[in-house]
Amino acid sequence: MSVAGQRAMGIPVRQREVSLSVVTVAIVAAIGGGLFGYDTGVISGAILYIKREFPIDDTTEGLVVSAVTVGALAAAMFAGVLADRAGRRFTNIAAGLVFAAASLLCAVANSVPTLVAGRFLVGCGIGLTSVGGPMYIAEAAPPRVRGTLVSLFQLAVTIGILLAYVACAILAPAAAWRWMLGLAAIPGLLLAVGMLFMPESPRWLVRRGHRTDARAVLAQIDPHEDPDAALAQMERDLAAEGHGTWGELLQPALRPALLVGIGLAVFQQVTGINAVIYYAPQIFQAAGFTSDLTSLAATTGIGVINVLATFIAIGLVDRVGRRPLLIAGVLGMVAMLAVLGLAFHAGAAGTGASSLGVITAFCLAVYIVSFAFSLGPIVWLMIAEIYPLRNRAQAMAVSTASNWGANFLVSLSFPVMAGRLGSTATSFTYAAFGVLTLVFIIAKVPETKGRTLEEISKLWR
């Protein structure tokens, strides 16, 4: 029986029930997350064979690898403008088309500049989806399940990373780097075509004055709520807020929210996640897994754990809330980084070298689990939910760009740090950032569980 039917007959409707329509919306938008994960993960395998076909020096290699991050940073800023002017749905369609075209360009590249351009464009797709995906899902989702639905985006990121590890392992014997990079064109098209059939974000429609369309979307995606009441609430809040400008990001009123959004985005990276995700095989080799096969197997294990542990967040984020998960997760990350630092120290001193491999594998596994139920999904979720609609697109763009900027710095500096400072100091550095993250969360990050986006905006006033 339909939800409306249940209501009419006085049958209580379960609060956590969600319409198929809003789940479909979240799943289709999350394809962008899958591409984000796949395209950041695939290069570690592909680069080995690219180097054989085009003999390149270290700097050019760095360029091929990091062009994605630079593209993501640039496009995240642009995504803010696009999401406001052309709509949330269009931003996701554009992301899919850019992914498809850029992946094909990489697959047929016959020179290094073309390849770098292709990877930069892939990065643009990632920048568009990392702003447009979570924003679209958060704006369409009913508050009681918003955390779960936006976490699907992060789940897709982790699945994308895992698929990239698997694709590299399967295609490695044939040295088929063009396939590794080109395969992403298929989900890219799927995202663009799928989004054509999805509704526009009701909040963007209200903002543009399309109230009839907004009401229809609200009725479709959340049959538990009265669409007229939700619409009236959004209109009231928007009338009070008005339309924002980029310049307003500098104004004091927005500062507390921006501090939280940018802080979370940067802390997600400086606690070292991508040192593990991008360099896991090297870390395992440094810890004594000398054969390529065992270090690759251990890396795939990390990918699987990353996917599985994201389900903890999906299940708990709307029940226990954002803050407890963040605090528990970051505590776990700090503890594991500290133990890892001590283990590398003992290994370097010659004591316990034989158990170093086992301790490393254990610490990295628990570190990944802790990240996957906390900073991984919740940062993307909170960036999408903490800003007032008036400035949401611009503020999300700046926060997301900060995330990519920090990602760029960490992935560039990790090999240098590990080489010059050693594994012990590198682990302790990330642990120290973890302690700062913990203090920041406890002092600054509000609980947003169960509140409407409009109620969250009011928290800052």
Q: Shortest distance, CB of residue 126 to ligand BGC, whole angstroms?
A: 10
Per-residue tokens: 186: 């298929």
Q: Is 158 in the site for ligand BGC (CB under 6 A)?
A: yes
Per-residue tokens: 13: 């409707």
Q: Which of 69, 154, 399, 429 binds ligand BGC (CB under 6 A)?
A: 154
Report in angstroms the alpha-carbon separations of 366 from 49, 129, 337. Answer: 32, 29, 10
Q: With respect to ligand BGC, which residue has the nearer C-beta, 305 or 456? A: 305
Distance in angstroms (rounded) separating the CA atoms of residues 364 and 272? 11
Q: With respect to ligand BGC, which residue has the nearer C-beta, 218 or 270? A: 270
Distance in angstroms (rounded) separating the CA atoms of residues 128 and 368? 26
Q: Is 151 in the site for ligand BGC (CB under 6 A)?
A: no
Q: With respect to ligand BGC, which residue has the nearer C-beta, 76 or 157? A: 157
The angle formed by the CA atoms of residues 16, 21 and 27, to the nearest 5 degrees, is 90
Distance in angstroms (rounded) separating the CA atoms of residues 366 and 309? 10
Centroid of chain to Cα 161 = 11
Range in contact with ligand BGC (rule: CB under 6 A) among 53-61, 98-106, 152-160, 229-237: 152-160
Q: Shortest distance, CB of residue 207 to ligand BGC, whole angstroms?
A: 27
Q: With respect to ligand BGC, which residue has the nearer C-beta, 177 or 279? A: 279
Q: Is 66 in the site for ligand BGC (CB under 6 A)?
A: no
Range in contact with ligand BGC (rule: CB under 6 A) among 49-57, 119-127, 153-161, 444-452: 153-161
Q: Is 400 in the site for ligand BGC (CB under 6 A)?
A: no
Q: Which residues touch 231 (CB under 8 Å, ≥6 apart)? A: 202, 206, 211, 214, 215, 218
Going by C-alpha positions, the residue among 272, 14, 25 that lies closest to residue 132 is 25
Mind giving me the DSSP string for 370-398?
HHHTTHHHHHHHHHHHSS-GGGHHHHHHH
Q: Report the sign of the C-alpha dihedral through residues 270, 277, 414, 341, in that order.
A: positive
Q: Shortest distance, CB of residue 427 to ligand BGC, whole angstroms?
A: 18
Q: Shortest distance, CB of residue 34 to ligand BGC, whole angstroms?
A: 12
Q: Is 106 in the site for ligand BGC (CB under 6 A)?
A: no
Q: Is 407 in the site for ligand BGC (CB under 6 A)?
A: yes
Give the total of residues touching ligand BGC (CB under 6 A). Answer: 12
Q: Which of the residues 354 through 393 are near ligand BGC (CB under 6 A)?
A: 376
Site string for ligand BGC, 259-278 (x = CB under 6 A): ---------x----xx--x-
Q: Which residues bind ligand BGC (CB under 6 A)?
A: 40, 154, 157-158, 161, 268, 273-274, 277, 306, 376, 407
